[in-house]
């Protein structure tokens, strides 16, 4: 028997095999499967390790192909584009130092230091982008080589940041970002292009710069070297890169849309709320129109909690330091708390969370198993210290109200309780127009956790079981749970595909222990209850901000601050307009009338800017026929609609389940 040494056998992800001439690369493999795959390929995974497409495959290797339009593929594209960015900057700015250039969500960045502390201008970005395109056109291969740390230090002798990374990697105290830059301690890997630009990197990259090109540089920002405020301030250039012209265009369009939907801008345009400077950073005041929406959200939440068997509680904004010592917040969460106040020989803190106070309510008297599950609910206002630089409208704020609930139950009740919680959360989120969810289950970190194996096992099983019962797809984040228990995080996707983390269902084995919570079980023994934390909106403020962006200000009719506006064509029709307004108002709708002191067209445009769901226009014919002209938001005008028909349409639009009209 002779073995054919000129062929190798490669195993594919579906466990099928393929024979190729020896010396074949990942690219050859992709081409042998199909030309289209060959063209889309940017890298491979060989025996579990991401590898350049041009590397020769070894016999028996298990290989999958990474294509440009996958997450992993885009990562390779973005990272490779970052190299080209550094290459362009080094060529255009003599003496520029470059540090690190990772791929990030939707794009990449690279950090630079320019000689004499100069900074990049917008014109510079255009110039750099131009040079990058030239490098792309030049079709320069990315050629990998490995060398000793000594040789690498010599090679980068004029690049202090690279030297620092090499030293950290070789001394074994590299963090994950360093390792991504330089490979391992035994062999430092570098990539070189035709222009003699060389960068420290583990790879992989696209085979050649011609595989890139669908990118845009976005902005420059200051960034401290290694995030250290005491270290040098570098210039960070951000960019985005995609697999095709269309994908890039789509992304840029999404950014434009996001800009238009920015809740801080809409809040001003629609007169909903503001952040007065005199009040201080991260604190908002709600104006009447924003107040209407907020009240509707809260009313709806209260009604659902009422029906869901929750007990309403109220707790103060301040607490003695002893409470936060018992709860552990002063030990674990002090950085997130407002500074203390001294009075009556005691120290008081604004509360960062409601949980400790709910534990006090539970502990006020002896509890029996008959009372469990005990579901406490509060719209509880909390204060958290967020650094000034991180504040962002309603999305990151210092004082906010949580729709907070804590459920105390027995171990046996936990699974059912979690399943019904999940139901509850999803049905409320759906009512607000979210239908696209991502679920993440965070499991135990063995290195830092309290509670027995048994209880962790049971709780994790209960969370998993709840997700499965609802047939929900979820991802597992192993070891990502807080030390006190596993949790489910629920993200929603908004109208333009952005992901927002809103709700959490969190098991807690720690607070019941710290507060010594107990109940008398059926056998008269004292037992510890399980505590579940559940935030649904997260915070009213943040949820409102997300809603505002999701709808681009065009709230669904049941939430709109003004649902209907009535406009008379001319002053002769004002009396009839008033009758229509009063009729609708008596039915409980939020309706107003804009008096005819300006031209009709102008009044219609102003009303559209306020994103009012229905603008009614009434003239001579309408008075005669008891009709209205209906100008729906985003639709065409329908003239001569009988007022009764419009009322029915309005009722249907607002929704049967919403009977909150009467409250506002
Ligand atoms: Zn690289
Ligand atoms: Zn809590």
Q: Which residues pair with 408 in a beta bridge?
A: 374, 531
402 catalytic per annotation: yes
The single residue of 163, 201, 355, 359 carrying the catalytic annotation is: 355
d(CA 346, CA 356): 18
Distance (angstroms) between ligand 1 centre and the Cα of 88 equals 15
> CA quadruple 516, 519, 525, 528: dihedral positive or negative?
negative
Ligand nearest to the CA of 534: 2
Q: How far is the CA of 465 from the centre of ligand 2 (A)?
A: 22
How do residues 595-631 score in pLDDT, each as one tens digit?
Answer: 888 899 999 988 988 899 999 999 999 999 999 999 9
% residues pLDDT > 70 (the chain):
96
C-alpha 452 – ligand 2 centre gap (Å):
21
> Which uninterrupted H or E stretch holds 311?
strand 311-312
Catalytic residue flag (residue 355): yes
188 alpha carbon to ligand 2 midpoint, in Å? 47
What value, to the nearest 5°, has the Cα angle with vertex 419 and ends 506 and 423?
Answer: 100
Active site annotation includes 533: yes
521-567 per-position pLDDT tens digit: 999 999 999 999 998 999 999 999 999 999 999 999 999 999 999 99
List the catalytic residue out of 140, 159, 235, 402: 402
Q: Quick one: pLDDT at residue 308?
A: 93
Which one of the ligands is nearest to 79 CA? Answer: 1
Residue 181 CA: which ligand is closest? Answer: 1
| Catalytic residue of the set 358, 487, 534, 573 | 487
Q: How far apart are the first and last CA of the chain?
A: 90
Q: Which ligand is nearest to the CA of 352?
A: 2
Strand ranges for 419-470 from DSSP E: 437-442
Mean pLDDT for 397-419 is 94
Of 205, 329, 375, 406, the catalytic one is: 406
Quick one: average pLDDT of 351-356? 96
41's tokens: 């390929």
- In the reported structure, the alpha carbon of residue 189 is separated from the centroid of ligand 1 by a whole-number distance in angstroms of 10
Q: Do 402 and 354 form a contact (C-beta atoms < 8 A)?
A: yes
Tokens representing 647? 């009322």
Does residue 404 carry a catalytic annotation? yes
154 tagged catalytic: no
Q: Is residue 388 scored above 90 in pLDDT?
A: no
Is 163 part of the annotated catalytic residue set?
no
Mean pLDDT of 157-184: 76
Ligand 2 centroid distance, CA of 505 (Å)? 10
Annotated catalytic residue within 52, 124, 404, 508: 404
pLDDT recorded at residue 658: 46
Rounded to two decimals, the pTM is 0.76
Confidence of residue 392 (pLDDT cuts 50, 70, 90): confident
- What is the C-alpha to C-alpha distance for residues 401 and 539, in angstroms, rounded to an integer? 5
- Give the pLDDT confidence score for residue 182 in this predicted structure: 62
Task: Mark residue 343 as left, alpha or beta (left: phi above 0; alpha: psi -120 to 50; beta: remaining).
Answer: beta
State pLDDT tens for residues 214-260. 999 999 998 889 888 888 899 999 999 999 999 999 999 989 988 88
Ligand 1 centroid vs 14 CA: distance in angstroms? 29
> What mean pLDDT, rounded, does the chain reach?
91
Domains of the chain: 7-67 (3.10.20.30), 72-256 (3.30.980.10), 273-315+354-550 (3.30.930.10), 318-350 (no CATH), 564-663 (3.40.50.800)
**Among 490, 500, 518, which Cα is nearest to 421's?**
490
Cis peptide before 204 (omega within 30 of 0): yes
CA 357 vs. chain centroid, Å, equals 29
Cα angle 517, 523, 528 (rounded to 5 degrees) comes to 15
Ligand nearest, relative to CA of residue 203: 1
pLDDT at 326 over 90: yes
- Starting from the CA of residue 354, give the closest ligand: 2
238 CA distance to ligand 1 middle (Å): 16
DSSP run (H or E) holding 191: strand 188-192
How confident is the model at residue 1, as a pLDDT?
46
User: What confidence score (pLDDT) does residue 654 get?
Assistant: 92
From the list 162, 214, 329, 384, the catalytic residue is 384
For the segment 433-446, what is each residue's pLDDT rounded down to a tens digit? 999 999 999 999 98
Residue 184 has pLDDT above 80, yes or no: no
At residue 203, the pLDDT reads 85
pLDDT of residue 174: 63
513 Cα–ligand 2 center, Å: 14
Check: CB of residue 622 under 8 Å from CB of residue 643: no
pLDDT at 38 exceeding the cut of 70: yes
Q: What is the pLDDT of residue 183?
A: 60
* Residue 664, pLDDT score: 37
- C-alpha 534 to ligand 2 mean position (Å): 7
The alpha carbon of 166 is separated from its chain's Cα centroid by a whole number of angstroms, namely: 34
How is 68-83 classified by DSSP, letter by letter?
A: TTSHHHHHHHHHHHHH
Does residue 487 carry a catalytic annotation? yes
SS3 101: coil
Distance 663 CA to ligand 2 centre (A): 30
Residues 295-319, mean pLDDT to the nearest whole number: 95
User: At a CB cut-off of 8 Å and minimum separation 6, what does 15 contact?
Assistant: none
Higher-confidence residue: 78 or 186? 78
Q: How does pLDDT run across 82-134, given as a tens digit for each residue?
A: 999 999 999 999 999 999 999 998 999 999 999 988 899 989 999 999 999 99
């Amino acid at each position: 028997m002779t073995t054919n040494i000129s062929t190798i056998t490669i195993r594919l992800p579906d466990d099928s095999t393929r024979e190729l001439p020896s010396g074949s690369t990942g690219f050859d493999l992709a081409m042998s499967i199909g030309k289209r795959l060959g063209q889309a390929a940017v890298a491979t995974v060989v025996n579990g390790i991401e590898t350049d497409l041009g590397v020769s495959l070894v016999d028996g290797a298990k290989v999958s192909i990474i294509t440009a339009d996958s997450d992993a593929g885009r990562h390779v594209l973005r990272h490779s584009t970052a190299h080209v960015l550094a290459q362009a900057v080094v060529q255009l700015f003599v003496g520029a130092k470059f540090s690190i250039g990772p791929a990030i969500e939707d794009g990449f960045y690279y950090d630079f230091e320019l000689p004499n502390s100069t900074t990049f201008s917008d014109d510079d970005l255009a110039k750099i982008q131009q040079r990058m395109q030239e490098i792309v056109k030049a079709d320069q291969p990315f050629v990998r080589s490995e060398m000793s740390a000594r040789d690498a230090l010599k090679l980068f002798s004029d690049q202090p940041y690279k030297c620092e990374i090499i030293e950290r990697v070789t001394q074994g105290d590299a963090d994950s970002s360093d390792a991504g830059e330089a490979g391992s301690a035994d062999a430092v890997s570098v990539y070189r292009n035709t222009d003699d630009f060389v960068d420290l990197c583990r790879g992989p990259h696209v085979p050649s710069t011609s595989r890139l090109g669908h990118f845009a540089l976005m902005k420059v920002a200051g960034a401290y070297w290694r995030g250290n405020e005491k270290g040098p301030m570098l210039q960070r250039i951000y960019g985005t890169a995609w697999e095709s012209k269309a994908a890039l265009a789509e992304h840029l369009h999404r950014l434009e849309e996001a800009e238009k939907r920015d809740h801080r801008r809409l809040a001003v345009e629609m007169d909903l709320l503001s952040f007065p400077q005199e009040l201080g950073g991260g604190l908002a005041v709600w104006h009447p129109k924003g107040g209407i929406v907020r009240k509707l959200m809260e009313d709806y939440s209260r009604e659902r909690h009422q029906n869901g068997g929750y007990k309403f509680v109220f707790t103060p904004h301040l607490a003695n330091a002893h409470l936060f010592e018992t709860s552990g917040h002063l030990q674990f969460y002090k950085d997130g708390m407002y500074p203390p106040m001294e009075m009556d020989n005691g120290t008081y803190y604004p509360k960062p969370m409601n949980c400790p106070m709910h534990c006090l309510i539970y502990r006020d008297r002896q509890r029996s198993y008959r009372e469990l599950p005990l579901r406490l609910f509060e719209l509880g206002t909390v204060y958290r210290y967020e650094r000034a630089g991180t504040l962002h409208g309603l999305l990151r704020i210092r004082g906010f109200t949580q729709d907070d609930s804590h459920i105390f139950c027995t171990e046996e009740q936990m699974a059912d309780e979690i399943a019904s919680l999940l139901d509850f959360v999803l049905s409320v989120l759906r009512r607000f127009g979210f239908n696209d969810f991502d679920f993440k289950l965070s499991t135990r970190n063995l290195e830092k956790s309290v509670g027995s194996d048994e209880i962790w096992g049971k709780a994790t099983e209960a969370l998993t079981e709840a997700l499965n019962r609802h047939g929900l797809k979820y991802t597992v984040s192993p070891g990502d749970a807080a030390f006190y228990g596993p949790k489910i995080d629920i993200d929603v996707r908004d109208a333009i595909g952005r992901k927002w983390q809103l709700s959490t269902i969190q098991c807690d084995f720690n607070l019941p222990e710290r507060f010594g919570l107990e109940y008398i079980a059926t056998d008269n023994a004292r037992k510890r209850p399980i505590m579940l934390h559940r935030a649904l909106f997260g915070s009213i403020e943040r949820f409102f901000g997300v809603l505002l962006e999701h709808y681009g200000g065009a709230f669904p009719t049941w939430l709109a601050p003004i649902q209907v506006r009535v406009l008379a064509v001319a002053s002769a029709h004002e009396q009839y307009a008033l009758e229509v307004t009063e009729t609708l108002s008596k039915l409980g709708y939020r309706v107003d009338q804009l008096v005819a002191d300006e031209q009709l067209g102008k009044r219609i445009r102003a009303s559209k800017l306020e994103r009012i769901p229905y603008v009614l226009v009434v003239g001579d014919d309408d008075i005669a026929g008891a009709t209205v002209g209906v100008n729906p938001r985003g639709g065409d005008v329908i003239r001569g609609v009988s007022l009764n028909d419009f009322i029915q349409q309005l009722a249907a639009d607002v929704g049967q389940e919403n009977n909150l009209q009467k409250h506002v």
